[in-house]
Amino acid sequence: MFIIRTLMLEMTPIVRPKTCPMKPTRGIGQWLVAHSFLPTPPPPCPSAKASAAALPYLVVTAGAATSIPRPPPSSWGRASTPPPPPFPFFPGLRDILLLPPPRPSLWPLGLLPSFELDMASSATISSVGAQAALVSKPRNHGISGLKASSSISFELGSSFLGKTGSLRESVTTRVAPKAKSAARILPEASYKVAVLGAAGGIGQPLGLLIKMSPLVSELRLYDIANVKGVAADLSHCNTPSQVMDFTGPAELASCLKGVDVVVIPAGVPRKPGMTRDDLFNINAGIVKSLIEAVADNCPEAFIHIISNPVNSTVPIAAEILKQKGVYNPKKLFGVSTLDVVRANTFVAQKKGLKLIDVDVPVVGGHAGITILPLLSKTRPSVTFTDEETEQLTKRIQNAGTEVVEAKAGAGSATLSMAYAAARFVESSLRALAGDPDVYECTYVQSELTELPFFASRVKLGKNGVESIISSDLEGITEYEASALEALKPELKASIEKGIEFAHKQQGAAASV
Ligand SMILES: NC(=O)c1ccc[n+]([C@@H]2O[C@H](COP(=O)([O-])OP(=O)(O)OC[C@H]3O[C@@H](n4cnc5c(N)ncnc54)[C@H](O)[C@@H]3O)[C@@H](O)[C@H]2O)c1
Ligand SMILES: O=C(O)C[C@H](O)C(=O)O
């Protein structure tokens, strides 16, 4: 195996005859890894000159139409073919172009860079090789967090999928040696991911989403109960990873040995009327015992902590790892991705923006007023009235409570949390795979403020946090600056509470 940093890929020649029902349109394109859904690449349209063997695995959707036709094996592209069922994750999209295989990190969770498909709107595509031009304009940040604008670009002149086209990838990609000459990227599923608390409300959908990643070779599911059924169920999905189940503390060490990423959603969720801090007494102990096992069995792994109160559970984990002599602050993360996901959604809704375009950094912590969306740093640049700022900030800060109340005693956010956690896992795996521009907001040990832990955008690399992005805190508005000052006492208290808990536990253990 070897790693290459830059690929120039020949576009696979695809020909779409007039009978193909799909017309390219002007709009946002999105990369989907079709092979997650399609065991074999779809065959060409009936009169296509491209051979089926040359057909790639990547589907690009363009335009805002009504459904993605799922290419059935024998009749894809025929006008007479009734529309097949839509892809599960992307109802609302129709036009499909086929391009060469993707970078492994591009998988269908919306964790994908976006780009403009800007093609001659009047072109009738009878042959993709001749009549249309497609220009991809990379955006500087997709839903996957900040992406360097140079990370994906391709520009084609007279042919958008003709032989003259090329796709330049500036991502590190694992390729099989034999694939090099064919310029075909074969995503390698080589990472082991463990989910602790895998039978829970977050754990189950998170397991499913991780099971869909083409980067994962082993998905290890651990819980104190009920995990066997979850694993049996997930194991039937025909995606690359092997699913393994582990029940109870006696099997925890085997679960953790050799894993690259450990995700921890174990613990109790809120009920209406509770704060996240009200979960401290139960969840602190759960996180402590799980982190002890992580320290003993996979101290090199990236550790993603979801269990609340994150503002305290991350400092607890740091102290336990220190006590075990294996603390690496670059690899311990409080998962605050859901705050970013929510901020992006609410801002897009409020300002009528396309969801995939919006990126709002959220800093501070993960509870109430410690969640500070920096709306002034929203990309694309957008202005807010004072009233909008106030309303959006409050909604983002209270979004967890909004879900807790709507669930009326049946728990807190699970599905959106699983989505957010899967995004963070995918970003971590991309970073581990050598993708040079992976950015996420996360709650980490930090020197950005006087607080020892602080959520902000960070650059992720093979060794974890490569750098903490300080520019988001520069030039913030007066409103944001005063909200930043206001959150510090609460965040400080939560951090100290976590540290004190870990020290007391250590003291208690020493005195036994
Ligand atoms: N960081 C965030 O943004 C965020 C978002 C949503 C929820 N959460 C938190 O995530 C946690 C889990 O939420 P949920 O809705 O999945 O709860 P849940 O009760 O549905 O699931 C929790 C799971 O953890 C398991 N568990 C309990 N003790 C364990 C232990 N010692 N080892 C392994 N597993 C254990 C339980 O058996 C259960 O399956 C809560 O603390 C919640 O507050 C955080
Ligand atoms: O609100 C909660 O208790 C769960 C989680 O922290 C969330 O933000 O949804």
Least confident of 182-186, 345-349, 413-417: 182-186
pLDDT per residue as tens digits for the range 163-176: 222 222 222 223 23
Q: For residue 461, what are the domain limits?
A: 337-492
- For residue 10, the 8-state DSSP code is E
Domain of 255: which CATH number? 3.40.50.720
The count of structural domains within the chain is 3
Q: Which of 165-179, 287-301, 316-330 has the lowest mean pLDDT?
A: 165-179
Question: Which ligand is closest in space to the CA of residue 227?
Answer: 1
Atom of ligand 1 nearest to the CA of 199: 39
The rounded mean pLDDT for the chain is 73
Q: Please check whether residues 471 and 345 belong to one and the same domain.
A: yes
> Are 367 and 276 within 8 A, CB to CB?
yes
Using the predicted structure, report yes or no on whether residue 322 has a pLDDT greater than 60: yes
Q: Are residues 54 and 113 in the same domain?
A: yes
Residue 208 has a pLDDT of 98
Q: Is residue 512 part of a domain?
A: no
Tell me which of 303, 334, 365 is where a domain ends: 334
Give the model confidence (pLDDT) of 304-317 as tens digits: 999 999 999 999 99
Contact 269, 307 (CB under 8 A): no
Q: 465-473 contacts: CB < 8 A, separation 24 or more?
A: 465/329, 465/330, 465/331, 466/330, 468/444, 469/439, 472/361, 472/363, 472/374, 472/377, 473/363, 473/374, 473/448, 473/449
- Domain contains 433: yes
Q: Is residue 40 pLDDT above 50, yes or no?
A: no
- Cα–Cα distance measured from residue 85 to residue 69, given in angstroms and rounded to the nearest whole number: 6
C-beta of residue 377 within 8 angstroms of C-beta of residue 497: no
Examine the residue annotation and report whether 366 is marked as an active-site residue of this protein: yes
| Binding site membership of 334 for ligand 1 (Cβ less than 6 Å) | no
29 within domain boundaries: yes
How confident is the model over 220-242, as a mean pLDDT? 97
499 assigned to some structural domain: no
Residues 392 and 55: their CA atoms lie apart, in Å, by: 45
Helix (H) or strand (E) holding 493: helix 478-511
Is residue 508 in a domain?
A: no
CA of 403 to the centre of ligand 1 (A): 15
Distance 348 CA to ligand 1 centre (A): 29
What sign results for the dihedral spanned by CA atoms 60, 63, 69, 74?
Answer: negative
What ipTM is given for this predicted complex? 1.00
Instruction: Please check whether residues 304 and 342 belong to one and the same domain.
Output: no
Single pTM value for the model: 0.73
42 & 157 share domain: yes
340-355 pLDDT, tens digit per residue, is 999 999 999 999 999 9
Asked if residue 237 and residue 197 are part of one domain, the reply reads yes
* Co-location of 178 and 234 in the same domain: no
Name residues contacting ligand 2 (CB within 6 A).
269-270, 276, 308, 338, 400, 403-404, 412-413
Task: Output 398 or 22, whichever has higher pLDDT.
Answer: 398
Task: Answer yes or no: is 448 within a domain.
Answer: yes
Q: Is the CB of 417 under 6 A from ligand 1?
A: yes
DSSP H or E run through 262:
strand 261-264
* pLDDT, position 59: 37
Helices (H) and strands (E) in the chain, counts: 10, 23
Which of helix, strand or coil describes residue 28? strand
Nearest to 60 by CA among 90, 32, 25: 32
- Are 46 and 59 members of one domain? yes
Higher pLDDT, 18 or 214: 214
CA-nearest of 306, 505, 290, 510 to 425 is 306
Domain-terminating residue out of 152, 171, 187: 187
Q: Please indicate, yes or no, if residue 509 is contained in any of the structural domains.
A: no
Count Cα neighbours of 306 within 13 Å in the Cβ-side half-sphere.
32
In whole angstroms, give the CA distance from residue 319 to residue 298: 16
Please report which ligand is nearest the Cα atom of 265. 1
Positive or negative, the CA dihedral 182, 187, 189, 191 is: positive
Shared domain check, 195 and 160: no
**b/e sequence 115-139, b meaning 16+ C-beta within 10 Å:** bbbebeeebebbbbbebbbbebebb
Do residue 174 and residue 196 come from a single domain? no
Q: Are residues 177 and 227 in the same domain?
A: no
Q: Which of 141, 304, 366, 503 is catalytic?
A: 366
What average pLDDT does the segment 80-100 reach? Answer: 34
Q: Is the pLDDT of residue 82 over 70?
A: no
Residues 389 and 430 in one domain: yes
pLDDT digits (tens, 9 = 90+) for 438-455: 999 999 999 999 999 999
Pocket test for ligand 1, best of 204, 208, 222, 224 (most atoms within 8 A of CB): 224
Q: Are residues 99 and 145 in the same domain?
A: yes
What average pLDDT does the segment 484-500 reach? 98
Give the separation between CA 30 and CA 143, rounded to whole angstroms.
11
Which CATH number characterizes residue 404's domain?
3.90.110.10
**Domain's final residue, options 334, 362, 396:** 334
Percent of the residues in the chain that have a pLDDT greater than 90, as a whole number: 61
Ligand 2 centroid to residue 412 C-alpha, Å? 6
Q: How far is CA 256 from the centre of its chain?
A: 22
Q: How much distance in Å is there from the Cα of 333 to the middle of ligand 2?
A: 16
Q: Are 244 and 224 in contact (CB under 8 A)?
A: no
Residue 89 lies in a domain: yes
Ligand located closest to 271 CA: 2
